[in-house]
């Protein structure tokens, strides 16, 4: 059965030019069998008429909080209780801020406070407004509270600018909602994944890093989401967008990554360390740019915290999966890391080979656990991620049930 069939859904529409897409969104949701009630903010009615939404939803549109007739028919508390899911699309920067601070000065914001239904928001705004640190901070806080942020995506904007801030298309939003209700073997489980490189500053303009693109980690995050997990992705600097529905935490250095992982680990069921974490960092970071005064320059480096080993050696560790990027003696090194770091599983791949590994679309994996191993020959990182997840789930259910 379609996961949206008979789902009681409130579609909140706020003041953004993307509101013109909401009529199509209502149609798409109804095509999937959802029972949609539209709630509009006053600003939304300036962009699209309630009459249009009434026509496409086949239901009365709710706008005012203190409307005697509306309250007599289906008041805001009944509406909040009725909903099985709330989608706010488009969600303006102003409404994101309202949600973050728990304001309740109109019907939609009051509903969001009064409902226990899961809330998803599809931001739509000018790219500068989206990038504003306060907007990003608000999104992070909402995600920490369990709200799903769907999009936005990049492209040309109504204001004439180009960048990230466009609302996802109605069909994409429908797919995101379907994924939310998808049940899978990891339903109710929390998966924490590290991805990408870290950067260790030498001075204000130079750093030590590596060639990790983050692709493998991002593909694994998407695969875990598809299996029903709640996914947090702690990512070093990469040029990838996280799959929608994944909670991304951006970090810079190994120390930042360590701190972010330790914040989420107490509630994590499965930890997958895909990141290529720098093993060493400069002991001192120059506050001013280093000048080339000498013929030779010696950098004094110290070890960074081993995030994977720390997690695996906790008193009650989650199911822990490590990665090993090797140029030679793959199986020997992988076995040794499995044992010494006390991992449940290690995924090894060769690096330094044309077409696979770092910076490539493809990879080939050798997976080892205590008492078993499996080879996954060369494929796209997306395909490998799905296969790997199935193996992880099988071992996880065996070890942890
Ligand atoms: N890792 C980590 N923290 C570090 C270094 C590595 O969590 N400071 C994790 C990586 O995310 C990966 C695994 O450890 O899952 C293996 O990393 P790798 O660099 O291959 O192995 P190391 O143990 O660092 O050993 P070596 O570099 O000597 O091969």
Q: Is any atom of ligand 1 closer than 6 Å to the C-beta of 322? A: yes
Specify whether 112 is catalytic: no
pLDDT for 55 equals: 96
C-alpha distances (whole Å) from 241 to each of 133, 288, 396 are 17, 32, 28
Q: Is any atom of ligand 1 closer than 6 Å to the C-beta of 337? A: yes
Q: Is any atom of ligand 1 closer than 6 Å to the C-beta of 279? A: yes
pLDDT for 116 equals: 86
- The DSSP element (H or E) to which 308 belongs, if any, is helix 307-312
Nearest CA to ligand 1 atom 18: 324
d(CA 120, CA 77): 19
User: Cβ of 271: how many Cβ atoms within 10 Å?
Assistant: 26
Omega before 152 within 30 of 0, i.e. cis:
yes
Nearest CA to ligand 1 atom 6: 277
Nearest CA to ligand 1 atom 14: 308
Q: Is any atom of ligand 1 closer than 6 Å to the C-beta of 233? A: no
d(CA 175, CA 29): 10
Q: Minimal CA–CA distance to 152: which of 132, 134, 127?
A: 127
Strand duo 247-250 + 270-273: pairing = unpaired
Q: Is any atom of ligand 1 closer than 6 Å to the C-beta of 308? A: yes
Using the mean position of ligand 1's atoms as its centre, give its distance from the Cα of residue 179 in Å: 32
Using the mean position of ligand 1's atoms as its centre, give its distance from the Cα of residue 277 in Å: 6
Is the distance from CB of 222 to CB of 368 less than 8 angstroms? no
Q: Is any atom of ligand 1 closer than 6 Å to the C-beta of 275? A: yes
Look at the block and give the residue holding tokens 């209502």: 26
For domain 8-181, the question of CATH label 3.40.50.1950 is answered with yes
C-alpha distances (whole Å) from 273 to each of 262, 321, 323 are 13, 6, 6
Using the mean position of ligand 1's atoms as its centre, give its distance from the Cα of residue 337 in Å: 9
Look at the block and give the residue holding tokens 């259910």: 397
Atom of ligand 1 nearest to the CA of 310: 7
pLDDT for 70 equals: 65
Residues 316-342 have pLDDT tens digits of 999 999 999 888 899 999 999 999 999
CATH of domain 190-285+296-400: 3.40.50.10300
Q: Residue 361 is encoded by which pair of tokens? A: 């679309």
Residue 340 is given by DSSP the state H
Q: Tens-of-pLDDT digits for all 401 residues of the chain?
A: 467 888 999 999 999 999 999 999 999 999 989 999 999 999 999 999 999 999 999 999 999 887 766 666 667 788 889 999 999 999 999 999 999 999 999 999 999 999 888 999 999 999 999 999 999 999 999 988 889 999 998 877 777 777 889 999 999 999 888 877 777 899 878 899 999 999 999 999 999 999 999 999 999 999 998 898 888 899 999 999 887 678 889 999 999 999 999 999 998 999 999 999 999 999 999 999 999 988 999 999 999 999 999 999 999 999 999 999 888 899 999 999 999 999 999 999 887 777 766 667 788 999 999 999 999 999 998 999 999 999 999 999 988 87
**What are the extents of the domains in the chain?**
8-181, 190-285+296-400
d(CA 376, CA 208): 31
- The residue to mutate among 322, 334, 366, having the most atoms of ligand 1 within 8 angstroms of its beta carbon, is 322
pLDDT for 1 equals: 47
User: Cβ of 374: how many Cβ atoms within 10 Å?
Assistant: 12
User: Cβ of 114: how many Cβ atoms within 10 Å?
Assistant: 16
Q: Which of 91, 112, 139, 159 is catalytic?
A: 159
- The residue to mutate among 265, 270, 307, 340, having the most atoms of ligand 1 within 8 angstroms of its beta carbon, is 307
Q: Minimal CA–CA distance to 314: which of 248, 274, 264, 371?
A: 264
User: Cβ of 69: how many Cβ atoms within 10 Å?
Assistant: 8
Question: Do 8-181 and 190-285+296-400 have matching folds?
Answer: yes
d(CA 33, CA 8): 10
> In 35-126, which ranges are continuous DSSP H helix?
50-57, 68-74, 76-82, 93-101, 107-114
Helices (H) and strands (E) in the chain, counts: 14, 19
């Amino acid at each position: 059965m379609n996961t949206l069939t008979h789902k009681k859904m409130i579609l909140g529409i706020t003041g953004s030019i993307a509101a013109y897409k909401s009529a199509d969104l209502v149609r798409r949701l109804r095509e999937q069998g959802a029972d949609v009630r539209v709630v509009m903010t006053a600003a939304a009615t300036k962009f699209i008429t309630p009459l249009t939404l009434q026509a496409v939803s086949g239901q009365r549109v709710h706008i005012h909080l203190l409307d005697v007739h509306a309250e007599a028919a289906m008041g805001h508390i009944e509406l909040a209780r009725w909903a099985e899911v709330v989608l706010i699309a488009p969600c303006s920067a102003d409404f994101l801020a309202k949600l973050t601070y728990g304001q309740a000065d109109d019907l939609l914001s009051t509903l969001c406070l009064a409902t226990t239904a899961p809330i998803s928001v599809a931001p739509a705004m000018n790219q500068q407004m989206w990038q504003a640190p306060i907007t990003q901070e608000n999104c992070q806080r909402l995600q920490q509270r369990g709200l799903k942020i769907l999009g936005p995506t990049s492209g040309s904007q109504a204001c004439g600018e180009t960048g990230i801030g466009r609302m996802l298309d109605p069909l994409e939003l429908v797919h995101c909602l379907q994924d939310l209700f998808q049940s899978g073997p990891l339903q109710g489980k929390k998966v924490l994944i590290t991805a990408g490189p870290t950067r260790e500053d030498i001075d204000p303009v130079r750093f030590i890093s590596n060639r990790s693109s983050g692709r493998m980690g991002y593909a694994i995050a998407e695969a875990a989401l598809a299996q029903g997990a709640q996914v947090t992705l702690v990512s070093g600097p990469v040029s990838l967008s996280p799959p929608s529905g994944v909670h991304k935490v951006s970090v810079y250095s190994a120390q930042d990554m360590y701190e972010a992982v330790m914040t989420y680990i107490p509630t994590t069921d499965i930890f997958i360390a895909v990141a290529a974490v720098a093993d060493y960092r400069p002991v001192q970071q120059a506050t001013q740019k280093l000048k080339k005064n000498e013929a030779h320059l010696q950098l004094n480096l110290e070890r960074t915290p081993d995030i994977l080993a720390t997690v695996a050696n906790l008193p009650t560790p989650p199911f822990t999966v490590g990665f090993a990027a090797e140029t030679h003696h793959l199986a020997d090194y992988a076995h040794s890391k499995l044992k010494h770091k006390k991992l449940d599983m290690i995924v090894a791949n060769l690096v330094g080979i044309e077409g696979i590994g770092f910076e490539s679309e493809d990879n080939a994996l050798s997976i080892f656990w205590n008492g078993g191993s499996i080879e996954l020959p060369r494929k796209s990182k997306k395909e490998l991620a799905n296969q790997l997840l199935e193996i992880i789930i099988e071992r996880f259910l065996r070890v942890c049930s």
